[in-house]
Structure 1
Amino acid sequence: MKLTFKKLALGTLLGLVAFSAQSAQVTLKAVSAFAKNSYFDQRFENFVKKFNEEGKGILQIQMLGGPESMPPFEVGNALRAGVIDLANTTGVFLANLLPEALALSFSTTPMATLRANGGDALLDNIMREKANIVWLGRVHDGLKFHIYTNKKPENFSFKDMKLRSVPVYRSFFQSLGALPLQVPPGEVYTALERGVVDGYGWPSVGIFDLGWQEKTKYRIEPGFYNVEDSLYMNQDKYKKLDETQRAFLTAQVRQLEELFVQDQKAVEREKTRLVEAGIEIISLPPDLAAKFIATANEAGWKAIDQASPKYAAQLRKAFGAQ
């Protein structure tokens, strides 16, 4: 009888140990704000594959989909509420909740410097406090935004041009005298086709992924700001991870920074492809180009000053406002 009890107890203990080991693995529900196989989704898809291969028994990511599963401007609220755990998105799409996140686009300060000067911790703490969101790190870095149009700006003026916009450069477009319109990426092609917009703001890469080159005739140089695509996480879920899981997550995100050099190579390839597709690159004269960049920087940081007076000065100092 004692032997039977001991066997039963041992079996129960082994079962509990096995259950404990099995339950230690946590799965994170994730979405991407960018269309599948597009430039800003590809690196995340590769990240998820590598993450799941190396994170067996620790952490896994379950992809729920892209914009077809959740509109980009709804991702922030879904993260905050815990509807999803992880998102590949941009602070541009979170600006209604966190205008401070736009500092990531206005700054050219490298990630290593932001960690050293406390900038990353500052912004992460703001996000946690205001929106229950953790900023894990960037997916891409060093890309610029550009203005693309289907009609040539006369005398290099954008006055009264209808430009598709998002919060990160809405104030800048207004400063140029343009009329910014918020149009979801999935509707831009039709908006160009029907004359709803005369052009749009978009990064140095990616228009071929969306077919917009068919309705685009010009790209304006210079580029402005620093295109930001990051990984964001629900804070409640993050807090539930143990030390091993958090360390694994951090290490995986840090490894993405080793890929930033690929972004610059992509910029050169894209520019060549644009010219081959018949899109004219219009370079502003040096004096106008300098004014263009200065206007962009002034408008961007002014928007943060107005939307976040509590943190604006700290963000300017850490992120190196130009």
Structure 2
Amino acid sequence: MTKRFTSLAVVTLAAALPAFEAASAQDVTLRAVSAFPTGSTFQLPFKKFIDEVNAAGDGSVTITYVGGPEAIPSLEVANAVSSGVVDIAVVPTSFYTAELPGAAMIKLATTTMPEQRENGCFELLDTLHQEGMNTKYLGRTGDHVQFHLYLNKKIEEPDLSGLNLRVAATYQALFGELGANMVNTPPGDVYSALERGTVDGYGWPSIGIFDLGWDAHTSYRVDPGFYIVDVNFLANLDTWNNLTDEQKALLEGKMIDIETGEQENAQLVEKELARQEAAGIEAITFDGEAGDLWEKTAQDAAIAEIAEADPQAVESLRGCLIPGE
């Protein structure tokens, strides 16, 4: 069942925003919000999506960008689109794991979004979101971008005992399995936590730490990376069902265009890692048995955690997300 809001910020926003607008029987205005700050690395593809829909829609579909976390707190964005406070949102699964635990399987994907559209995985993920969260799964960005552990203390092996690490739902099971002391801190508070020494490190993708200024208090990055970034584009299902076939096709087509562009992310990651090196962030590389342990623990810890909450999702999605494992 979809959880409803009690947040004052969201209630206030809902009262201030007009309902799903129709200028005519055909023309619609959709309200959009991002779980990421406006202008940040993971919000930019969403901005491009909005701009391209508005340009191509010629008034039949207009997306109005409400804002980022200043409009709706990041952890409430998924509920906002689920309940219809907004019509479209961009949000990672780590921000709605409690509502839809099976969606966490996305982070384990070794297939890209274009491949998932071909092998039937997209339809399974769409059904999961529609039935479990009253949202239409439009698609995802983040292909070829992995997560890393970033530290201000050097380690020699995959043993995180004694380290205080800022965690998110994405990698909490992994860090916990390797002995870390886990600290739950909103992204906006991580800089001060690093500055004060409250945490010794954090998990984050290979791109984006410079957006947040965290590089100033980061000395090491652990390789290899683990999981993939999933920045999901969701539409409220009731809103989606009220669109015409032509309007749906426009949104779907522009989403596929965005996903196609994401296949160039490998070059973006290469540039970002070079920038980290130039900033003095040293790579700690686990190879051989240590590397095998690091990667196996990441996979096993995630599967076990998801299976406990939604074994059916693991069974149905495993083959198309991580074929040949």
TM-score w.r.t. structure 2 length? 0.89
Q: Give yes or no for contact 1:108–1:142 (8 Å, CA) kept in 2.
A: no
- Counterpart of 1:122 (choices 114, 121, 124) is 124
Uncovered stretches (5+) of structure 1, i.e. residues with no partner: 1-19
Structure 1 residue 319, shift from structure 2 partner? 1.6
Q: Give yes or no for contact 1:29–1:61 (8 Å, CA) kept in 2.
A: yes
Distance 2:118 2:169 in 1: 28
The correspondence of residues 1-322 of structure 1 with structure 2, limited to 5 A, is 22-320=24-322, 322=325
Distance 1:28 1:178 in 2: 43
Distance 1:144 1:21 in 2: 42
Q: Give yes or no for contact 1:164–1:180 (8 Å, CA) kept in 2.
A: yes
TM-score w.r.t. structure 1 length? 0.90
The residue type equivalent to 1:89 in the other structure is V
2:71 match: secondary structure: coil
The residue type equivalent to 1:162 in the other structure is N
The residue type equivalent to 1:229 in the other structure is V
Structure 1 residue 24, shift from structure 2 partner? 1.6
Q: Higher mean Cα deviation, 41-50 or 263-272?
A: 41-50
The residue type equivalent to 1:268 in the other structure is E
The residue type equivalent to 1:41 in the other structure is Q
Distance 2:83 2:293 in 1: 42
Distance 2:158 2:274 in 1: 23
Q: Give yes or no for contact 1:22–1:57 (8 Å, CA) kept in 2.
A: no
Aligned-residue CA RMSD (Å): 1.5
Percent of paired sites with the same residue: 40
Q: Give yes or no for contact 1:164–1:199 (8 Å, CA) kept in 2.
A: yes
1:151 match: secondary structure: coil
Q: Deviations over 1:115-136 (max 9, x none)?
A: 2332111121111111101110
The residue type equivalent to 1:221 in the other structure is D
1:275 match: secondary structure: helix
Distance 1:225 1:310 in 2: 20
Distance 2:56 2:23 in 1: 17
Matched length: 303
Structure 1 residue 60, shift from structure 2 partner? 1.1
1:40 match: secondary structure: coil
The residue type equivalent to 1:67 in the other structure is P
Q: Give yes or no for contact 2:36–2:42 (8 Å, CA) kept in 1.
A: yes
Change (3 A) 1:130 1:154: same
Uncovered stretches (5+) of structure 2, i.e. residues with no partner: 1-21
Distance 1:68 1:130 in 2: 27
Structure 1 residue 174, shift from structure 2 partner? 0.8
Structure 1 residue 266, shift from structure 2 partner? 1.1
The residue type equivalent to 1:131 in the other structure is M
1:180 match: secondary structure: strand
1:222 match: secondary structure: strand
Distance 2:275 2:160 in 1: 25
What is the match of residue 12 of structure 1? none
2:29 match: secondary structure: strand
Structure 1 residue 112, shift from structure 2 partner? 2.8
Q: Give yes or no for contact 1:24–1:57 (8 Å, CA) kept in 2.
A: no
Change (3 A) 1:96 1:156: closer
Question: If you compute each CA radius of gyration, which structure gives the higher value, 1 or 2?
Answer: 1
Distance 1:176 1:290 in 2: 14
Structure 1 residue 245, shift from structure 2 partner? 0.5
Distance 1:303 1:187 in 2: 26
2:43 match: secondary structure: helix
Q: Give yes or no for contact 1:164–1:181 (8 Å, CA) kept in 2.
A: yes
Change (3 A) 1:222 1:57: same
Distance 2:261 2:60 in 1: 24
